[in-house]
Amino acid sequence: LELPVSDLYADTCPQCFGPAIGEMKDSPTVPCFIVALDANFQQRHYTYSSRDSPTEADYPSSFLHPSQITKQEDLCKTTAAQVKDLKTACSDSHTAANDTCTSASIRKACDDSGLFGMTCWHDIPLKFINSKLHYPVSILSDLLHNHPDHQVGVLYDIGCHLEAHIKKHELLPNDHDQLVFATAVFHSYVHEW
């Protein structure tokens, strides 16, 4: 079946992405659905273990294809030097924000440094991708492209850092007003209010 991507999302979680029959929202800024983002740095791929390069047709539908990432990767590369200087009030307190989750030697030995995923609030996995700054931006871009005019709640442990980066460097210039970021309660202990 050649379904549109929005229908594939609806097939994955009908409650979040299916038709909203009789739904009443208190405000147009209330998210239509909520997604959670996170990375697992234990799921890495060492460069020496294989040199295969799968075609886009070989990728499972739950993974973003490399062609879907290129635009965001290029945008993030142009701002890479500025990212090092991007400091939210809590950046120094959170290891994921300043890329100290794994040692430098391990990061150099890996061509994929981790697995980044997005789930809906019903804990249903929606999309996966490797773990670098442009990957969460790519996943959000894909979601917003396939669900235009929807407000999206984004739960992410370093959501404040990602939101600051997206706004400062205008990575989702036409869509960032559709995003509402929230962070986990555990991050509130290091977050600067």
Domain range annotation of the chain: 30-47+80-193
- List 118's β-bridge partners, or say none: 37, 127
Q: Does 30-47+80-193 carry CATH code 3.40.720?
A: no
pTM of the model: 0.74
Tokens at 126, concatenated: 């929606």
pLDDT at 180: 92
- List 35's β-bridge partners, or say none: 120, 154
Residues of the chain with pLDDT under 70: 1, 77-103, 107, 131-133, 186-193
Compute the distance between CA of residue 55 and CA of residue 104 in angstroms, rounded to an integer.
29
The owner of tokens 């029959």 is 21
Cα first-last separation, the chain: 49
Coil, helix or strand at residue 7: helix
Ordered DSSP codes for 94-163: -TTTTT-SS-HHHHHHEEE--EEEEEETT--EEEEEE-STHHHHHHHHHHHHHSTT--EEEEETTHHHHH
Tokens at 192, concatenated: 């600067």
Q: What are the φ/ψ torsions at residue 158 (nearest 5 degrees)? A: -115, 40
pLDDT at 90: 60
Of the candidates 152, 130, 157, 125, the one whose C-alpha atom is nearest the C-alpha of residue 141 is 152
pLDDT at 162: 85
pLDDT at 160: 82
Tokens at 12, concatenated: 């994955």
What single-letter DSSP state applies at residue 63?
B
pLDDT at 78: 66
